[in-house]
Amino acid sequence: MNRPPPLWQSQMIGLNLRNPSKLHLLFWFVFVLGCGACRTSPPLAPANLSAPGWTIREGQAVWRPKIKRPEIAGELLVATHRTGETYLQFTKTPLPFVVARITTNRWHIEFVTEHREFSGYGQPPSQFGWLHLVACVAGTAPPAKWRWEIFPNDRWRLENRTSGETFEGFLTP
């Protein structure tokens, strides 16, 4: 027995499944085409920190992602290359929480525990403090909404005045 589909499946949303309109076909074409274009930039090649030219500093840091979130203490590794490339890893043993990298014209940040990553070209956006931490340690001023403070014994603090995100820590010389 051939029954027509229930009303709620096709007619309620105005879709004629037997004769789709050109607008419906265009929608599906754009949808399928758009699904393959989600990546903003190709992945960076892995950083080889054992290659010549890298300076590696290690220390500890406390990260508070937002004003009402708990602080997370962990190990901090910062590597700078003489070409200007930087690499940062914040680890809470046994796994990394954040891995960030900046080259001369690209940036990439991965929040490992949240399975999120972002990348792009040019200067890193100001909302990612991890990408600006290395520059601040090297003596560069942070973006406008961030405040950088240096304390005795090579301690430092980077704070986002808008979101309340903070980074406090130290690195070995």
Task: Select, from the ranges 14-28, 41-55, 133-147, the one with the highest average predicted confidence (pLDDT).
Answer: 133-147
Diameter over CA atoms, the chain: 84
Q: Is the peptide bond before 94 cis (omega within 30 degrees of 0)?
A: yes
pTM score, whole prediction: 0.73
Region 35-54: what's the mean pLDDT?
Answer: 75
- What is the per-residue pLDDT for 37? 46
Checking if the pLDDT of 104 tops 80, the result is yes
- Spatial distance between the Cα atoms of 77 and 97, rounded to a whole number of angstroms: 12
Checking if the pLDDT of 66 tops 80, the result is yes
Checking if the pLDDT of 171 tops 70, the result is yes
The CATH class that applies to domain 55-171 reads mainly beta
- What is the per-residue pLDDT for 154? 87
Domain positions in the chain: 55-171
- What is the per-residue pLDDT for 47? 87
Closest C-alpha among 95, 120, 136 to residue 41: 120
- What is the per-residue pLDDT for 164? 93
- Calculate what percentage of the chain has a pLDDT beyond 70: 77
| Distance from the first to the final alpha carbon of the chain | 81
- Calculate what percentage of the chain has a pLDDT beyond 90: 61
Q: Taking the CA atoms of the chain, what radius of gyration do you get in angstroms?
A: 24
Q: What is the pLDDT of residues 132-165, one digit of tens each?
A: 998 898 889 999 999 999 999 889 999 999 999 9
Q: Where are the alpha helices (DSSP H) in the chain?
A: 7-10, 22-35, 129-137
Region 6-34: what's the mean pLDDT?
Answer: 57
- What is the per-residue pLDDT for 14? 54
Question: Beta strands 54-64 and 166-171: pairing type?
Answer: antiparallel
